[in-house]
Amino acid sequence: MLLGVNIDHVATLRNARGGSEPSVIEAARIAEENGATSITTHLREDRRHIKDNDVYTLIKTLKTRLNLEMAMADDIQKIALEIKPYSICLVPEKRQEITTEGGLDVAGQLDKVTEFIKPLLDNGIIVSLFIDPDENQVKASAKTGAQFIEMHTGTYSESFGTEKEEQEFLNLKNAAKLAQDLGLKVNAGHGLNYQNVKRMHEIPDLVELNIGHSIISRAVFTGLGEAVKTMHDLIS
Ligand code: PXP
């Protein structure tokens, strides 16, 4: 299984002061040096974290692959067609949400999704659809021409350690099997952390996991000691 690292939170921290620190480019470089096989960024319509300039720079500096998360928005599609990331992941987007809530409703807007991704596919960009582990959504996704689905692992992650975990895990396992039987490749992500990620090994042939929040959260603590010590040494 491959690891895609989502670096949106680094941009959120940077934007808190409006400057250039911490650098998302440097974050991507460190992630790549430590095993990330792709870097994911979500260019949201409200540009609340990743900005246009970030993706224009990342596409030139990445050693691995850029996976661009995006909603069905014409201006973002235009940018994707210009920079041609290795892959895009189509997600639903609501302005007020804190993070992506729920999967894309492919079944309910099959023609719209199929039409939207066509120019991206025609330009050689791999397309992944971020969907809930739901039979109807998987079947609809297989009709769009997309090569991948990314299974939304949020509900499984929230259920981890509760009596609902087995059912949620089974939903993921069954959806992955159905997708693979229909010729789709399967990624997964959202809410995965250092505990619940281990069960992803029980799902055969998952290609890549996209993980952001837990990695950046852990990085704060694994890096905080050094950061304080270096500043302390400089001023004492
Ligand atoms: N995959 C998709 C499609 C997402 O929208 C997100 C969150 O931006 C992730 C994966 C990563 O989720 P998390 O930050 O919870 O690891």
DSSP string, 141-178: HTTTT-SEEEEE-HHHHHHTTSTTHHHHHHHHHHHHHH
67 pocket-lining for ligand 1 (C-beta < 6 Å): no
Can you tell me the distance from the alpha carbon of 91 to that of 74, in angstroms, rounded to the nearest whole number? 14
Task: Give the pTM.
Answer: 0.96
CA of 149 to the centre of ligand 1 (A): 14
If you average pLDDT over residues 142-152, what whole number do you get?
Answer: 98
Atom of ligand 1 nearest to the CA of 100: 5
DSSP the chain: -EEEEE-HHHHHHHHTTTSS-S-HHHHHHHHHHTT-SEEEEE--TT-SSS-HHHHHHHHHH-SS-EEEEE-S-HHHHHHHHHH--SEEEE----TT-SS--S----GGGHHHHHHHHHHHHHTT-EEEEEE-S-HHHHHHHTTTT-SEEEEE-HHHHHHTTSTTHHHHHHHHHHHHHHHHHTT-EEEEESS--TTGGGGGGGSTTEEEEEE-HHHHHHHHHHHHHHHHHHHHHHH-
CATH of domain 67-235: 3.20.20.70
Tell me which amino acid residue 154 is. Answer: G
Q: Is the CB of 150 under 6 A from ligand 1?
A: yes
Q: Indicate if ligand 1 lies below 6 Å from the C-beta of 91.
A: yes
Question: In the predicted model, is pLDDT for residue 218 greater than 70?
Answer: yes
Distance, CA of 127 to CA of 117 (rounded, Å): 7
Q: What is the pLDDT, as a whole number, of residue 101?
A: 73
By alpha-carbon position, which residue is closest to atom 12 of ligand 1? 190
**Cα–Cα distance measured from residue 52 to residue 44, given in angstroms and rounded to the nearest whole number:** 10
Q: Which residue has the higher pLDDT, 99 or 85?
A: 85
Q: Distance between CA atoms of 151 and 226, rounded to whole angstroms?
A: 36
Lowest mean pLDDT among 26-30, 46-50, 217-221: 46-50
Q: Is the pLDDT of residue 95 over 70?
A: no
Catalytic residue flag (residue 201): no
Count Cβ atoms within 10 A of the Cβ of residue 157 and give its class: 0-12 exposed, 13-18 middle, 19 or more buried: buried
Q: Is 190 marked active-site?
A: yes
Residue 69 CB less than 6 A away from ligand 1 = yes
Task: Provide the greatest CA pair distance for the chain.
Answer: 65
Indicate the burial class of 43 (C-beta count within 10 angstroms; 0-12, 13-18, 19 or more). Answer: buried
213 is a catalytic site residue: no
Residue 232 CA to ligand 1 centre (angstroms): 35
pLDDT tens digits for 31-51?
A: 999 999 999 999 999 999 999
Give the model's confidence band at 96: pLDDT under 50 very low, under 70 low, under 90 confident, else very high: low
